Amino acid sequence: MPRFLRIASFQISPNELAAVAGQVSGTPFEVVRLGRRTDLLAYIQRERAAHPEGEQQLYSSWQQSQYLYSMFNVQNDPLDNTRYPELTWSTAHEVLVSRR
């Protein structure tokens, strides 16, 4: 078992996701910049300090922001998807179509 396992069905930018979502839904999507990643990190740090009980909660209020920050901050390269040749990885388009 590897120490770090980097798998992802797909990696997609916000602009690419907006385009695919628009194609699938027929509704145009627009990416709206709400700030920088450093601003989000500072917010998470403030929220964690203000709510230390969240460290013991399953889903503390700041964890959603932490997850979003992590998703924007890390691009796994290379992916270890070839470790599982029996799996068929879905594209962003396939995932969104299946959710309709």
pLDDT of residue 54: 92
Tokens linked to 91 = 């594209």
Q: What is the pLDDT of residues 16-42, one digit of tens each?
A: 999 999 999 999 999 999 999 999 999
CA-to-CA dists, residue 56 to 7, 46, 69, angstroms: 28, 17, 20
pLDDT of residue 76: 74
* Residues contacting 78, CB < 8 A, separation 6+: 6
Per-position b or e across 9-45, b if 16+ CB within 10 A of its CB: eeebeeeeebbbbeebeeeebeeeeeeeeeebeeebe
Residue 8, pLDDT > 80, answer yes
Q: What is the pLDDT of residues 37-79, one digit of tens each?
A: 999 999 999 999 999 999 999 999 899 999 989 888 877 788 8
